[in-house]
Structure 1
Amino acid sequence: MVAMSKIATGNGHGENSPYFDGWKAYETNPFHPTERPNGVIQMGLAENQLCFDFFQKWLMKHPEASLCSPEGVRKFKETALFQDYHGMPEFRKAVAKFMGKVRGDRVKFDPDRIVMSGGATGAHEMVTFCLADPGEAFLVPTPYYPGFDRDLRWRTRVELVPVDCESSNNFKITRTALEAAYEKAQAANLRVKGLLITNPSNPLGTILDRETLKSIVSFINEKNIHLIGDEIYSATVFMEPEFVSISEIIEEDIECNRDLIHIVYSLSKDMGLPGFRVGIVYSYNDAVVSCARKMSSFGLVSSQTQHLIASMLSDDDFVESFIVESKERLFKRHKYFTWSLSQVGIGSLQSNAGLFIWMDLRKLLKEKTFKAEMDLWQVIIKEVKLNVSPGSSFHCQEPGWFRVCFANMDDNTVEVALMRIRTFMLKNNEAMVPRSKLCRRSSLKLSLSRRKDDFITSPGIMSPHSPLPTSPLVRART
């Protein structure tokens, strides 16, 4: 066998995680309403598919934004030729303006600090390369996105030190937890170079309040370590309290070395355009901007994509209406989904952002262990045919939590998924709510009309009196 590099032969990519195993189960047998009605429903993908009609209508009205149309062909040669890896000025200006708009125009962003990358994945690796050397470490509050083990560690050889957060205080990041993680890293002879926070949180769907953010800024300033704020879900906040960016905190009367502050952003979640691979590093540090810009040549956003995005985000009316409508549709789907789960005894962490729910299945574990969590997850994947992600893959310290995504499917698939969950749960007497309550409310179905509480009746959700097969849950608990 030909010798290969340690990166090529190692398992640093992290694909041995249940998070990725769930994707593989879906890919081998994906659900289709007619061709594979018994296939696995993808609920492990944090994708926003609720507003594609908005994009389609805009593109029909603005064919010149596409270089592959008669109206846009005049810009084809100009855009197809070499573009400086600083990025098109109109693209950087439009993205900077959009970032400000998403944050309620309470803060402005400098287009000259916008650095392109191939999605948030590339942006995270880029900023890690800029800030740390192999063997140095970043603190990361748990639970955190499983892809960070790949994005921040695989090729950079940087270490991640968990900041353990607990369900007893809704996984809030505390100064005590930060200090404990910092001391743990020092005891392991790891030099801590930074702290990575995700706000809004993936997988929690919660936001960091202003006081917590101030405490975090104070912590990194005292330790003289960097702060990376992953804010890729900032436009998905669909209920109060409103999103507060780290960029707002440093504008306030607070002691802070701005050279330590960096933001990762993308259009993959807020606009639901992951295929466009638009990632952004925004740093307040001139040296980081300069270095990242050089590194960006390894993962540029295509000029065709830059042209389209610049055209779209420069349309103020479109941006305003999209932000409002996206929040409303996420609100409706989240409200309906969490209510439906509650009707069969499934709780979740109270949240107001993101494309997912942090689902609480602790009472379904036969014992409070991660092995029991994996046993339950295997049943959900193989028997219930839902790809949800176990909390252990997010480094959650408490077994029994699962992330379930709700915005990556149409209404009919939502109904099928909820029917499967109901079938799964109704055989578990410990988790059932009173039958009379289920009977009264079982015919509700999501409506994406403009009224927030406008639900319509549907026969799509299984009645509690419907015949049920023997539940695999019974087997999982014995």
Structure 2
Amino acid sequence: MGLMNKQQKPQLLSKIATGNGHGEDSPYFDGWKAYDENPFHPTNNPNGVIQMGLAENQLTSDLVEDWVMSNPEASICTPEGVYDFKAISNFQDYHGLPEFRNAVAKFMGKTRGNRVTFDPDRIVMSGGATGAHEVTAFCLADPGDAFLVPTPYYPGFDRDLRWRTGVQLLPVICESSNNFKLTKQALETALNKAKQDNIRVKGLLITNPSNPLGTVMDRTTLRTTLTFINENRIHLICDEIYAATVFGHPPFTSIAEIIEQDTDIECDRDLVHIVYSLSKDMGFPGFRVGIIYSYNDAVVNCARKMSSFGLVSTQTQYLLAAMLADEAFVERFLGESAKRLGQRYRVFTGGLSKVGIKCLQSSGGLFVWMDLRHLLKEKTFDSEMELWRMIIHEVKINVSPGSSFHCSEPGWFRVCYANMDDRAVQVSLQRIRAFVLQNVEVKVPEKRPCWQSNLRLSFKTRRFDDIMMSPHSPMPQSPLVKATT
């Protein structure tokens, strides 16, 4: 008996707990680990890794801080608000505070230009968009069923929708030849392949604005998706968590606008569901405010029961209900957020263009889809990973390789630019330029360009070994990349 115990140890944990469903071995998460081990700080650790793999919006934190200081009664943890402490701390209804659901519904309409309204009774809370996606998957699909997802897509979906539900994600291949735009042909190809493989497809998941592309789906594409899901009787899940991060053209169009305004298109509303959160638009990822908005009554009822596993704290609901109900603040916040995101986008992409790096043209999100295909030794994903490892460990910037987003073409990288201050942006641009200009002599006008500052390098007829004298670019020469101007 003792010998048997030594040879056959019992399985103490579940298959889910011991499996690889979380996807933590992805380069997407590996980059975070590199940052955690050696984080950049302008004075304490100037040669550390700069975090550009995290899609956080910190550009408007000062506006929120000012509002909180001016409205202390909105918190039950202040002398001005403590009189509501007992009532709020004892509230347990998983429907949520009525004033919170009303405020969120109104805010969702505001972020969509007030072109559509949302019913507070269809607002279901969850612990961030992560929890909202998992609950939605539980409601719509059984283990082994699948959702179609256009590529490239957010790596966290592999965790959020698959890990504990047993649901599969099947890629809908989109390509750079048309700027990764979703087409009817791509949808039909993916669906037909699933049928050939005897996989039951229960829905289509789209992200609008796109993560990682930063692009906004036009009305024609949204109509195509509605027609597709209606013809095939599958669900449509629309992740709209970046709705208020749009800073350019085209403007954001919600799927809610299509089904309510385009009366010429056939649409079974029971098939349409929206996932939203305040993590990106407001910069509140730590508050864990996720929203499921479904036009299907059965889904609303089921999701509300399941929300018990990931409710938003009533303290958070209470604070945000007051903040989002302040129309003057919301108006100013959304306008200033779009302005600052647009400015940061132009500064960052403009800096990259100085050394010949192009990005996919975008108008939303907190990131750019950077094209480094010309820096690959070979047009392979192995070469992409080699380049990515150099960027992480030598250039010391955490960016995310396209392969972790299931991109079908090697050489694309997602770079986040809204989670840092202006100084860190300039240091990151300096490092990227130094990397690209390795062993390259670059001529610039004698007059100092206006885009240069004391934190940027002047590359005038300088070689890479000279550039490497910068304390912010601790990178040795490497034969991996031979860039040309």
Tell me the TM-score normalised to structure 2 length: 0.93
Tell me the secondary structure at the aligned position of residue 369 of structure 2.
strand
- Name segments (4+ residues, structure 1) moved above 6 Å: none
**CA separation in 2, counterparts of 1:44 and 1:405?**
6
**CA separation in 2, counterparts of 1:31 and 1:460?**
15
Selected match of 1:68 from 49, 53, 77: 77
- Residue pair 1:41, 1:386 contacting (<8 A) in 2 also: yes
Selected match of 1:435 from 433, 438, 443: 443
In structure 1, list runs of 5 or more residues that go unmatched: 446-457
Q: In structure 2, what is the equivalent of residue 301 of structure 1? A: 312
**CA separation in 1, counterparts of 2:126 and 2:110?**
21
Q: In structure 2, what is the equivalent of residue 139 of structure 1? A: 148
- Residue pair 2:56, 2:418 contacting (<8 A) in 1 also: yes
Which residue identity does 2:458 align to in structure 1? S
Q: In structure 1, what is the equivalent of residue 434 of structure 2? A: 423
Q: In structure 1, what is the equivalent of residue 481 of structure 2? A: 477
Report how far residue 440 of structure 1 moved. 5.0
Report how far residue 435 of structure 1 moved. 2.1
Q: How many residues align?
A: 462
Which residue identity does 2:299 align to in structure 1? V
Task: Answer yes or no: is 1:384 the counterpart of 2:395.
Answer: yes
Task: Answer yes or no: is 1:291 the counterpart of 2:302.
Answer: yes
Aligned pairs for 1:74-223 within 5 A: 74-223=83-232
Render the CA deviation track for 1:275-326: whole Å, top value 9, x for unaligned: 0000000000000000000000000000000000000000000000000000
Q: In structure 2, what is the equivalent of residue 451 of structure 1? A: none
> Quick one: structure 1 residues 477 and 426, their matched pair in 2 at CA, closer, same or farther if it must change by over 3 Å?
closer
Which residue identity does 1:282 align to in structure 2? Y
Q: In structure 2, what is the equivalent of residue 35 of structure 1? A: 44
**CA separation in 2, counterparts of 1:428 and 1:105?**
53
- Residue pair 2:142, 2:167 contacting (<8 A) in 1 also: yes
- Residue pair 1:208, 1:244 contacting (<8 A) in 2 also: yes
Render the CA deviation track for 1:251-291: whole Å, top value 9, x for unaligned: 11111000000000000000110000000000000000000
- Residue pair 1:141, 1:165 contacting (<8 A) in 2 also: yes
Which residue identity does 2:138 align to in structure 1? F
> Quick one: structure 1 residues 332 and 441, their matched pair in 2 at CA, closer, same or farther if it must change by over 3 Å?
farther
**CA separation in 2, counterparts of 1:86 and 1:382?**
47
Selected match of 1:226 from 222, 228, 235: 235
- Residue pair 1:48, 1:408 contacting (<8 A) in 2 also: yes
Tell me the secondary structure at the aligned position of residue 475 of structure 1.
coil
- Residue pair 2:444, 2:459 contacting (<8 A) in 1 also: no
- Residue pair 1:225, 1:260 contacting (<8 A) in 2 also: yes
Tell me the secondary structure at the aligned position of residue 331 of structure 2.
helix
- Residue pair 1:443, 1:460 contacting (<8 A) in 2 also: no
**CA separation in 2, counterparts of 1:275 and 1:298?**
17
**CA separation in 2, counterparts of 1:273 and 1:318?**
16
Q: In structure 1, what is the equivalent of residue 458 of structure 2? A: 463
Report how far residue 474 of structure 1 moved. 4.0
Tell me the secondary structure at the aligned position of residue 444 of structure 2.
helix
Q: In structure 2, what is the equivalent of residue 452 of structure 1? A: none
Tell me the secondary structure at the aligned position of residue 250 of structure 1.
helix
> Quick one: structure 1 residues 461 and 442, their matched pair in 2 at CA, closer, same or farther if it must change by over 3 Å?
farther
> Quick one: structure 1 residues 474 and 443, their matched pair in 2 at CA, closer, same or farther if it must change by over 3 Å?
farther
Q: In structure 2, what is the equivalent of residue 444 of structure 1? A: 451
**CA separation in 2, counterparts of 1:339 and 1:345?**
10
> Quick one: structure 1 residues 134 and 49, their matched pair in 2 at CA, closer, same or farther if it must change by over 3 Å?
same
Which residue identity does 2:95 align to in structure 1? H
Report how far residue 444 of structure 1 moved. 1.9
Render the CA deviation track for 1:384-439: whole Å, top value 9, x for unaligned: 0000000000000000000000000001111111111111111254xx8x6225x6
Q: In structure 2, what is the equivalent of residue 277 of structure 1? A: 288
**CA separation in 1, counterparts of 2:95 and 2:301?**
10
Q: In structure 2, what is the equivalent of residue 450 of structure 1? A: none
> Quick one: structure 1 residues 144 and 295, their matched pair in 2 at CA, closer, same or farther if it must change by over 3 Å?
same
Q: Which has the larger radius of gyration?
A: 2
In structure 2, list runs of 5 or more residues that go unmatched: 1-8, 470-474
Aligned pairs for 1:361-376 within 5 A: 361-376=372-387
Which residue identity does 1:361 align to in structure 2? L
RMSD of equivalent CA atoms: 1.4
**CA separation in 1, counterparts of 2:80 and 2:352?**
48
Tell me the secondary structure at the aligned position of residue 177 of structure 1.
helix
- Residue pair 1:428, 1:474 contacting (<8 A) in 2 also: no
Report how far residue 83 of structure 1 moved. 2.1
Render the CA deviation track for 1:177-204: whole Å, top value 9, x for unaligned: 0000001111111000000000000000
Report how far residue 476 of structure 1 moved. 1.5
**CA separation in 1, counterparts of 2:97 and 2:266?**
35
**CA separation in 1, counterparts of 2:439 and 2:29?**
28
Which residue identity does 2:165 align to in structure 1? T
Which residue identity does 2:50 align to in structure 1? I
Task: Answer yes or no: is 1:261 the counterpart of 2:272.
Answer: yes
- Residue pair 1:442, 1:463 contacting (<8 A) in 2 also: no
Tell me the TM-score normalised to structure 1 length: 0.95
Q: In structure 1, what is the equivalent of residue 252 of structure 2? A: 243
Which residue identity does 1:303 align to in structure 2? T
Which residue identity does 1:313 align to in structure 2? L
Q: In structure 2, what is the equivalent of residue 25 of structure 1? A: 34
Which residue identity does 1:270 align to in structure 2? D
**CA separation in 2, counterparts of 1:463 and 1:151?**
45
Report how far residue 459 of structure 1 moved. 1.2
**CA separation in 1, counterparts of 2:246 and 2:51?**
23
Q: In structure 1, what is the equivalent of residue 340 of structure 2? A: 329
